[in-house]
Every structure is written in structure tokens, then in C-alpha cells.
Amino acid sequence: MTICAGADAATADGPPRAALTLAADGSYAARLTRHDDAAGNWYPERWTIGGPEPYAVPLPGSQPEEPDSALLPLADGRVVIVRRVADRFTVSLLSPTGPGTQEVLVGAVAARALTLLPPAPGGLDGYALVPAADGTDVWRVHGGAGGPERVAVVPGACTGGVWLDHEGRLLAVDRELAGRTKSVVVDLARGGEVSPLLQITAESDDRLVLADPDSGLLLVRSDAPATTGWAGACWAATCRCASRSACGCRMRR
């Protein structure tokens, strides 16, 4: 199966964007694209890619989208859209209803910036990083009982976001603190407990690019000399070692 969906080039109204964002199970994808008319306004589009032939379904709303609206496809076919509105970000669910689009408002997050994280394992929850005065907040923007909710506070400025398990419990982020960037693990099932994930040297900036929950292998990016590009680490939910990066109970070589 081949999908052809070109990435939009950088323009004055927004940065370059990825061609598609995939759902956690790979069944759906979503993107913002332009109307094929003189106005060229933005609208969301959902792709069904779980069958033999991929196809796209337009999800236009009652008005054009801003180019910085963020999309998160869910495994049930709905699409989360996050829009900046004044000093907050609204979260809504989009789904096709015949020729039109059904939109359900989930809630809003008051913030100056918000970054959606990659789809959480399971495919039905959505999370985001929100800068805060005391660090970075992790918000569950979809999947909670009462709308968006803050689920963790991480000291320092956090970017990235990689899921380390199949349950959506362990989230790795790159945290800048005291002038250095290191990847840390946020345990969402233990009140947002933060623990180190990797440190190549004390003076290096070490970032996590990808992780394989089955093998325990990490793809890392670092400015440390002689960096190999991969590492083994433990993030087992039952691990109680003082340093996860030194633990051997789930390390794979």
C-alpha cells in the first residue's frame, strides 16, 4: 500500500508541516490541507489507511482553519483538533457525517503555547506539553472523564515526547534544566513522577529520538564525543532501581 500526500512548503502564514500524522495503531492519519480554489483556505482531512486502498475524507468546518491548528487522529476514526483562540487552546473532536463534519467541543486549555504529543498507545488518548511558570505541564487533552486535565508537572523546559510502553503510562521528554538537556521519564500512573532516562556524559545534551517498547532500544541524539546513536535502557513499570539507565532487569543488547 502506498500513500502519496505531499508536505506543504513553508509560507508566510505558517511553518512547513508534516504530510500526515498517524494514529497509534496506523489505521488512520490526518493532516491540514488547502482547498483547491482561489482562496486556498486550510481544512482538516482524514485518511483511512487500515484497508487495502487508502482514501481521504475532507473534514471542513464552518470556517477556514488557521495553519497552526494541530491534528491528532484517533484509532476509532475521529480526529482531535486543537485551535488557538485568543489566550487559550480549544480542543474539539471531528468526524464525518455524510457530506458534512460533526464537531464536538471537548474543552479548552488556557496557555500561551501548546504542543500535541505523538498519539498515545491505545489510540484513544491525546496528550500535550504546555509551558508553565514552574516548568512544563503535561495535559491529557482527550480521554479524561471531564475534558482536558493536567496530569503532571515537570520542572524545566520540555520538548519532544516518546512513549516507552504499550500502556500509555511512561512518557519520555527532553528536559532542559540548568543549561543542559537530558531525557527523563514521566510516569503518568504515579502522579507524574520524574526519573532520569539517559545521560551519556554530565556535560552533554542528550535527546531521545525513538524508542522500541519491545526490545528496550533507544535511538538517541547527543553532542557527546563518540556517540553510537543507540542505547539499552530499562523502563519497566515494576523497576525500583535507583537509576533506570543502569538497571539490567529489562535491558536488551
pLDDT of residue 39: 72
In-domain check, residue 132:
no
In-domain check, residue 158:
no
pLDDT of residue 11: 42
Q: Provide the greatest CA pair distance for the chain.
A: 60
In-domain check, residue 105:
yes
Expressed as residue numbers, the domain containing 17 is 1-111
The structural domain count of the chain equals 1
* SS3 at position 190: helix
Burial class (CB within 10 angstroms; exposed 0-12, middle 13-18, buried 19+) of 174 = buried
pLDDT of residue 111: 96
pLDDT of residue 50: 83
In-domain check, residue 2:
yes
CA 61 to chain centre: 23
Residue 78 near residue 101, CB atoms below 8 Å: no
In-domain check, residue 213:
no
In-domain check, residue 55:
yes
Nearest Cα to Cα of residue 246 among 162, 237, 235, 126:
235
pLDDT of residue 100: 86
**How far is it, in rounded angstroms, from Cα 67 to Cα 190?**
36
**How far is it, in rounded angstroms, from Cα 88 to Cα 153?**
19
pLDDT of residue 95: 95
In-domain check, residue 243:
no
Residue 246 phi, psi (nearest 5): -100, 0
**How far is it, in rounded angstroms, from Cα 107 to Cα 89?**
9
CA dihedral (143, 148, 149, 155) positive or negative: positive
In-domain check, residue 237:
no
pLDDT of residue 12: 41
pLDDT tens, the chain, 253 aa long: 444 454 453 344 444 455 789 999 999 999 999 987 767 899 999 999 988 899 999 999 888 999 999 999 999 999 999 999 999 999 999 999 988 899 999 999 999 999 999 999 999 999 999 999 989 999 999 998 889 999 999 999 999 999 999 999 999 999 999 999 999 999 999 999 999 998 888 899 999 999 999 888 888 888 887 654 555 555 444 444 444 444 444 333 2
